[in-house]
Amino acid sequence: MSDTSISDRSTRQDRSRAGRQKPVTLDLPQQSIRSDRNALLAALIDIWQGLSRADVWTALAWESFVSTYRRASLGILWATLSFIMFVFAILTFRVAVSRGELSDEASYVIFGFLFFQLLSQMILSAVNVFVTAASWLKGTLMPLSLFVFNSISTNTIVFVFNIVGALVVLIYFGYSPTVGAWKVLPAFAVTLFNAIWVYLFLGIVMARYRDAAQFLAAIMRMAIFLTPILWIPVPGTLMAYVAYYNPLTYFIDILRVPLLDGTFPIDSWKTVGGITAAGWVLAILTFAWGRRKVIYWIQ
């Protein structure tokens, strides 16, 4: 796709036809507002309506992705290049610390970092998802969740470009996928499903409590050291405890293990299942509570 993909290439002809001015009739969907709807029901409707307007959020997502790189001559290639650069940096670091043989652990580190990057970017953008959407929210009536899906897809696009970078480095280190590598797909789907509740929950809470947002940003800076990416948790050590209480560990695990040895990590899947259920309940309640108030908090 080029960066004009949301526009339309046949405008020139359209303009020449404009002189004729035949009235265009559009058949657009109906819209109505009911401010007295039950908050929980309204929240669920919001999520459904946001999800169903995929044409809007994909367009917005692609637009914000390309606009990040718009004035750079290498353009969106930077999404891949910066990933490769960073992976080489952390691999060098890993070798320097462990004095081990690099190629054994390279794929562990690369996949770990690839997925960690996805998770941490999503969490960081979840924190201000509604704050950054303020200029849209103040002008048009839109389901709030639409901006959640928008941001999730922007991060997914970046992730896809990171995969390309990861593949380049993996091939360099002689990685070959196992037969069970497809098992990463359900893990990825579940991760995206979790991303929705994380956005809804953090988006609302962090718009209201800005100190919490700063706190979380500080935590996320440390997370790269607290998540088993650069190290392997050895049972009984302090780091094993850290990994145990870090929810990111389990998501990284279900994503990384299939790619390394082609199996399902059952225990991590169980934990992720619990987090998913509890998270969604928490998020829907929070979203129902704050959905109508958030516009006052982001002024």
Partner 1 sequence: MTQIKLENVTLTFPTAAKARRVGEAETANRESRRVAGQIDRDKRNRLSVSALRSVSLELNDGDRFGIIGSNGSGKTTLLRVMGGIYTPQKGRVLTKGRIATMFSMGIGMNAEATGLQNIYLSGLMAGANRRQIKQVVPEIIEFTELGDYVHLPIRTYSQGMAMRLKFACATAFRPDIVLLDEWIGAGDEDFQEKAQVRINELLEKAGIIVIASHNLQLIRSVATKVIWLERGEVRMIGETQTVLDARAAERKRLAEENDGDDYVEEPTLHNLTTVRSAAN
Which of these ranges, 24-32, 150-158, 221-229, 239-247, lies near partner 1 under the rule CB under 8 A?
A: 24-32
Which of these ranges, 161-169, 191-199, 240-248, 289-297, lies near partner 1 under the rule CB under 8 A?
A: 289-297
Q: Which of 28, 96, 238, 266 binds partner 1 (CB under 8 A)?
A: 28
The CA-to-CA distance between both ends of the chain, in Å, stands at 35
What is the DSSP code string of 52-70?
Answer: H-HHHHHHHHHHHHHHHHT
Residue 40 CA to its chain's centroid (Å)? 25
What sign results for the dihedral spanned by CA atoms 249, 290, 221, 188?
A: positive
Which of these ranges, 87-95, 101-109, 140-148, 268-276, lies near partner 1 under the rule CB under 8 A?
A: 140-148
- C-beta of 27 vs 104, nearer to partner 1: 27
279, 126 contact by CB (below 8 A) = no
- C-beta of 61 vs 254, nearer to partner 1: 61
Write out the two tokens for 200: 């809804």
Which of these ranges, 49-57, 158-166, 181-189, 198-206, lies near partner 1 under the rule CB under 8 A?
A: 49-57
- C-beta of 220 vs 298, nearer to partner 1: 298
Q: Which of 33, 96, 179, 266 binds partner 1 (CB under 8 A)?
A: 33
Interacting positions 163-192 with partner 1 (CB under 8 A): none
- C-beta of 75 vs 180, nearer to partner 1: 75
Interface size with partner 1, residues (CB under 8 A): 44
Interacting positions 1-20 with partner 1 (CB under 8 A): 4, 6-8, 10-11, 14-15, 17-18
Residues in Cβ contact with 97 at an 8 Å cutoff, skipping those fewer than 6 apart? 230
Q: Which of 2, 35, 73, 176 binds partner 1 (CB under 8 A)?
A: 35
Cα–Cα distance for residue pair 294/277, rounded to 1 Å: 24
DSSP at 23: P
Angular region, 268: left φ>0, alpha ψ -120 to 50, beta rest: alpha
Residues in Cβ contact with 251 at an 8 Å cutoff, skipping those fewer than 6 apart? 115, 119, 191, 194, 272
Write out the two tokens for 243: 């990994």
- C-beta of 32 vs 176, nearer to partner 1: 32
Of 108, 118, 121, which Cα lies nearest the Cα of 160?
Answer: 118
* Smallest separation (angstroms) from partner 1 to the CB of 160: 22
Q: Which of 141, 179, 238, 266 binds partner 1 (CB under 8 A)?
A: 141
286, 47 contact by CB (below 8 A) = no
The footprint of partner 1 (CB under 8 A) covers 4, 6-8, 10-11, 14-15, 17-18, 21, 24-36, 53, 55-56, 59-60, 63, 67, 70, 135-142, 292, 295-296, 299
